[in-house]
Amino acid sequence: MNENAMEKLRRMSIEDRVRPVKQEDPLLLAEWQESGVRFAASGGNLEDAYYAALQKLLCCIVPIRGRNPILQEGGIYLGCWLESTGTINAELLSRFLPSVAESTYLAFADFQRDDGLIPYKLTENGPAFRQIQLVTPLARCIWNHYRLHGRDRSFLDMMYQAMARYDEWIALNRNTRGTGCVEAFSTFDTGHDLSPRFWHVPDTPYGSDAAAFHPDSPILPFLAPDLTANIYCQRLYLSRIAEELGQSGEGWRAKAVASLDSLFRYCYDEEDMFFYDLDRNGRFVRVQSDVLLRVMACEVGDRSLFDTMLERYLLNTSKFFAKYPFTSLAMDDPRFDPFSTYNSWGGPSNFLSLIRAPHAFEAHHRYVELTWVMQPILSALARAERFPQALSPWTGQEGFTETYSPAILCLMDYVERLCGILPKDGERLWFTGLLPAAMDHGEEIAGSTAYTRIVNGMRFELTNGSDTMTILRDGAVHIQAPSGIRLITDTAGKLEGIVGMSVRTVTGMLHYDGRSIAVEIKGNEQQRYQDGILTTERDIGIIYPTYR
Q: Coil, strand or helix: which one is 334?
A: coil
Please check whether residue 100 is in contact with residue 70, taking contact to mean a CB–CB distance below 8 angstroms: yes
For position 475, what pLDDT does the model report? 96
> Which domain, by its residues, includes 245?
150-301
For position 2, what pLDDT does the model report? 55
In a domain, residue 412? The reply is no
In a domain, residue 307? The reply is no
In a domain, residue 206? The reply is yes
CATH of the domain at 161: 1.50.10.10
Beta-bridge mates of residue 79: none
Q: What is the DSSP letter of 198?
A: G
For position 3, what pLDDT does the model report? 58
- Which one-letter amino acid corresponds to residue 513? D
Peptide bond into 326 cis (omega under 30): yes
Please check whether residue 491 is in contact with residue 455, taking contact to mean a CB–CB distance below 8 angstroms: yes
For position 415, what pLDDT does the model report? 98
Total number of domains in the chain? 1
In a domain, residue 234? The reply is yes
In a domain, residue 280? The reply is yes
Give the burial class of 391: count Cβ atoms within 10 A of its Cβ; 0-12 exposed, 13-18 middle, 19 or more buried. buried
For position 288, what pLDDT does the model report? 98
For position 211, what pLDDT does the model report? 98
For position 67, what pLDDT does the model report? 85
Specify the pTM. Answer: 0.97
How does DSSP assign 200-233, residue by residue?
TS-SS-GGG-TT---TT-SSPSEE-HHHHHHHHH
For position 65, what pLDDT does the model report? 84
194 phi/psi in degrees, rounded to 5 = 65, 10
Stretches where the chain sits below pLDDT 50 are 1
In a domain, residue 524? The reply is no
Q: What is the DSSP letter of 327?
A: B
379 phi/psi in degrees, rounded to 5 = -60, -45
For position 440, what pLDDT does the model report? 86
